[in-house]
Amino acid sequence: MHWFFLFAAGLCEVGFTSSLVKAGQSTGSVAAAWYGAFAVSLVFSMWFLFIASRTIPMGTAYAVFAGVGALGTALMGIFVFQEAASFWRLFFLFTLIASIVGLNLVSN
């Protein structure tokens, strides 16, 4: 169950980074709503990381948290914000996924 919370924390990290991008592209009450989404995502992200780190070693938990967040944010950039998807970018995203899976396997 703690691995679920860890992945949820990483997904919330994607939420707060994406919210910041959208807030920067918006003005007025729309920007304020995106900043609100940022704050909510940040709180949930840290809370889920805290729950997960109760049983998962902190070094592993943070590495997976950061990896899931980085991977998710990169994929959001590619699919939502129309960023480039070059061979090398995809290659290193794949190695990031392999590293996250490897940490999961050796931490059980």
Residue 27: predicted pLDDT: 95
Domain encompassing residue 97? 2-107
Is residue 86 scored above 70 in pLDDT? yes
Give CA angle at 51 (16, 38), nearest 5°.
Answer: 10
Residue 108: predicted pLDDT: 63
Summarize the confidence of residues 9-22 as an average pLDDT: 95
Is residue 66 scored above 80 in pLDDT? yes
Summarize the confidence of residues 87-95 as an average pLDDT: 92
Is residue 100 scored above 90 in pLDDT? no
Cα–Cα distances in angstroms (integers) from residue 20 to residues 17, 31, 63, 97, in the given order: 5, 9, 22, 24
Q: How many domains does the chain have?
A: 1
